[in-house]
Structure 1
Amino acid sequence: MARRTRKSTEPTKPLVKAPVRIGSLDAAALVGELRKLHEDAEDGEIERMPDDGELFRALLYLESHKGALKDPEAQRVAAIERVRLWEYLREQADLHQARAIDDARTANAEWADLAPALAVSAPSAAYNKAKRLRAALLTATSHGERPVRRTPEAVIQVEQQIAAQAAAERRAQEEAHRRHELVLPVAQNLLEHRDGLADDEEVTYWLDEIAEVLPHCETPTQKVSLSTYVEAVVRELRRAERCTGRPGAKTEGALLAYAAATSLFSC
Structure 2
Amino acid sequence: MARPARKPAAPTKPLTKPPVRIGRLDAAAIIGELRKLHEDAEDPDIGQMAADAELFQALLYLESHASALKDERARRMAAVRRVLLWEYLREQADLHQSKAIDQARAAGVAWAELAPALAVNATSAAYNKARRLQATVLTEASVVEGPVRRTPEAVHKVEQQAAARAAAELRAQQEAVRRHQLLAPVAHRLIEHRVGLDDNDDVTYWLDQIASVLPSCQTPTQILSLETYVAAAVRELKKAERATGLLAATTTDAQLAYAAAAEVVSR
Whether TM-score is above 0.5 comes out as: yes
Q: How many residues align?
A: 267
Name the SS of the counterpart of 1:50 in structure 2: coil
Name 1:78's counterpart in structure 2: 78
Aligned AA for 2:186?
A: V
Q: Residues of 2 paired with 1:68 and 1:209: CA distance?
A: 69
Deviations along 1:37-84, one digit per CA (max 9) or x if unpaired, are 333444333332222222111222222222333443333222212111
Q: Residues of 1 paired with 2:194 and 2:49: CA distance?
A: 76
Report the alpha carbon displacement of residue 28 of structure 1 after superposing the two structures with TM: 2.0
Name 2:261's counterpart in structure 1: 261
Report the alpha carbon displacement of residue 219 of structure 1 after superposing the two structures with TM: 4.1
Aligned AA for 1:245?
A: G
Name the SS of the counterpart of 1:67 in structure 2: helix
Q: Residues of 2 paired with 1:153 and 1:106: CA distance?
A: 21
Name 2:168's counterpart in structure 1: 168
Report the alpha carbon displacement of residue 184 of structure 1 after superposing the two structures with TM: 1.8
Name 1:226's counterpart in structure 2: 226
Task: Decide whether aligned partners of structure 1 residues 213 and 67 sit closer, same or farther in structure 2, where only a CA change above 3 A counts.
Answer: closer
Task: Decide whether aligned partners of structure 1 residues 245 and 150 sit closer, same or farther in structure 2, where only a CA change above 3 A counts.
Answer: same
Name 2:130's counterpart in structure 1: 130
Name 1:208's counterpart in structure 2: 208
- Greater mean alpha carbon deviation, residues 229-238 or residues 186-195: 186-195
Name the SS of the counterpart of 1:77 in structure 2: helix
Structure 1 unmatched runs, 5+: none
Name 2:156's counterpart in structure 1: 156
Task: Decide whether aligned partners of structure 1 residues 185 and 119 sit closer, same or farther in structure 2, where only a CA change above 3 A counts.
Answer: same
- The 5 A counterparts of 1:8-157 are 8-142=8-142, 145-157=145-157
Name the SS of the counterpart of 1:248 in structure 2: coil
Q: Residues of 2 paired with 1:81 and 1:136: CA distance?
A: 23
Contact 2:143/2:162 (CA < 8 Å) preserved in 1?
no
- Greater mean alpha carbon deviation, residues 184-193 or residues 151-160: 184-193
Q: Residues of 2 paired with 1:9 and 1:3: CA distance?
A: 18
Aligned AA for 1:130?
A: A
Aligned AA for 1:102?
A: D
Contact 2:66/2:75 (CA < 8 Å) preserved in 1?
yes
Contact 2:198/2:249 (CA < 8 Å) preserved in 1?
yes
Name 1:246's counterpart in structure 2: 246
Name the SS of the counterpart of 2:24 in structure 1: coil
**TM-score, with length taken from structure 2:** 0.90
Task: Decide whether aligned partners of structure 1 residues 222 and 143 sit closer, same or farther in structure 2, where only a CA change above 3 A counts.
Answer: closer
Aligned AA for 2:44?
A: G
Q: Residues of 2 paired with 1:249 and 1:204: CA distance?
A: 13
Contact 1:183/1:227 (CA < 8 Å) preserved in 2?
yes
Report the alpha carbon displacement of residue 189 of structure 1 after superposing the two structures with TM: 2.7
Report the alpha carbon displacement of residue 225 of structure 1 after superposing the two structures with TM: 2.8
- Greater mean alpha carbon deviation, residues 254-263 or residues 112-121: 254-263
Deviations along 1:73-105, one digit per CA (max 9) or x if unpaired, are 333222212111110110111111111111112
Structure 2 unmatched runs, 5+: none
> What's the RMSD between the two structures over aligned residues?
2.2
Tell me the percent identity.
67
Contact 1:18/1:144 (CA < 8 Å) preserved in 2?
no
Task: Decide whether aligned partners of structure 1 residues 218 and 52 sit closer, same or farther in structure 2, where only a CA change above 3 A counts.
Answer: closer
Report the alpha carbon displacement of residue 17 of structure 1 after superposing the two structures with TM: 4.0
Q: Residues of 2 paired with 1:8 and 1:25: CA distance?
A: 34
Q: Residues of 1 paired with 2:145 and 2:205: CA distance?
A: 42
- Greater mean alpha carbon deviation, residues 46-55 or residues 81-90: 46-55
